[in-house]
């Protein structure tokens, strides 16, 4: 398979992760290096694993998941985005208690799954085309890692412009990505 074709697919698949990483890092202080690495690593890992899983499942499973995969991805993004918006109204309460880190635990798993479900479909497509999967999956994972890390550096700049509305804007971005997923399907 042509490297530039795979690179184009990888960039397209990474756009959701890019937008989510911007949304999560909208606070003026952004994310720490460890948070950036954790987010980029998990998004990249899931973007690598999902095409491999899709490819391994082959054509037999595509009919089972294609009718609702977009609903799952959108639902996960709306859940996390809605939570961010609700928390933006409770700033004082959050200052009194430790804030939850979206780059850890269940939130990270949800975001990693939500941003990588389309990569599962790409893996299924590659299986249907009888394309070997390791090289494309590795490129997809590395590109997503890089794009996510870049997004975490863009977020704080946008956050400074948005001021106190940054977290609400981040949640809205996630919800808009969910709407886009549903409209594109």
Read off the pLDDT of residues 165-184 as tens digits, 9 standing for 90 and up.
666 776 777 687 778 878 87
Three-state SS for 103? coil
Instruction: State the greatest distance between any 2 C-alpha atoms of the chain, in Å, as a whole number.
Output: 55
Say which residues have a Cβ less than 8 Å from residue 177's Cβ, sequence separation at least 6. Answer: 16, 19, 20, 77, 81
pLDDT at 97: 42
pTM: 0.73
Say which residues have a Cβ less than 8 Å from residue 184's Cβ, sequence separation at least 6. Answer: 70
- 20-65 pLDDT, tens digit per residue, is 888 888 766 778 899 999 999 999 999 999 999 989 887 666 667 6
- CA–CA separation, 35 and 27 (whole Å): 13
86-100, 103-117, 167-181: range with lowest mean pLDDT: 86-100
pLDDT at 53: 92
Q: Which residue has the higher pLDDT, 34 or 77?
A: 34
Percent of the chain with pLDDT over 90: 24
């Amino acid at each position: 398979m042509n490297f530039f074709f795979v690179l184009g697919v990888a960039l397209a698949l990474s756009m959701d992760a890019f937008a989510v990483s911007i949304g999560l890092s909208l606070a003026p202080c952004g994310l720490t290096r460890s948070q950036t690495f954790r987010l980029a690593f998990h998004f990249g890992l899931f973007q690598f694993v999902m095409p491999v899983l899709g490819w391994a499942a082959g054509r037999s499973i595509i009919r089972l998941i294609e009718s609702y995969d977009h609903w799952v991805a959108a639902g996960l993004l709306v859940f996390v985005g809605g939570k961010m918006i609700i928390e933006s109204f409770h700033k004082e309460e959050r200052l009194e208690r430790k804030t939850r880190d979206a780059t850890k635990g269940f939130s990270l798993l949800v975001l990693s799954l939500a941003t990588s479900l389309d990569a599962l479909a790409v893996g299924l497509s590659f299986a249907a085309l009888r394309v070997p999967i390791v090289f494309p999956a590795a490129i997809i994972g590395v590109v997503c890692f890089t794009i996510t890390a870049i997004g975490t550096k863009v977020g704080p700049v946008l956050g400074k412009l948005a001021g106190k509305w940054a977290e609400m804007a981040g949640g809205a971005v996630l919800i808009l990505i969910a709407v886009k997923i549903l409209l594109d399907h």
